Amino acid sequence: MIVLKFYFTVTFLCTFHFTFISSYDNYLDRIPNSNNVPNPCNPSAKWYGIGHIATAGAGARNPFGTDFAKTGRTWSTTLCQMDSDGDGKTNGAELGDPNCVWTEGSTPPSTTGISHPGVCE
């Protein structure tokens, strides 16, 4: 019986962990240049948790993460035209999609000059 409980516990934890990681990757696929967002505090590093305060993701959301959740967790004209961090640049301009034309799975209009839409630089 103990072995069976152990098996179910391990299976549950592995499934939960896989689901969490898959969800995170899925969100990155929904945002242009999401794997290319620089860390404003360390420009040689990337900020992979683009919607979170923590650079690696998880935990509390930054303003962009809050807006992403409020707009259906997908890239849209509404989210693109917002200025989540209040720095005077739209989220689209910061993420290489200034005209809000990017669609999931396509190459963003620009892949250079990317900045963080959730942290005011």
How high is the pLDDT of residue 2? Answer: 62
Secondary structure of residue 6 in the 3-state scheme = helix
Give the chain's length: 121
| Local confidence band at 13 (pLDDT 50, 70, 90 cut-offs) | very low
Domain annotation covers residue 55: yes
Domain annotation covers residue 108: no
Domain annotation covers residue 105: no
How high is the pLDDT of residue 36? Answer: 94
The reported pTM is: 0.79
Domain annotation covers residue 88: yes
How far, CA to CA in Å, does 26 sit from each of 41, 52, 74, 102? 26, 15, 10, 16
- Which of 52, 44, 47, 46 is closest to 20 using CA atoms? 52
Domain annotation covers residue 111: no
pLDDT in tens, 65-119: 999 999 999 999 999 999 999 999 999 999 999 999 999 999 999 999 999 999 9
Domain annotation covers residue 119: no
How high is the pLDDT of residue 43? Answer: 83
Domain of residue 19, residue span: 2-94
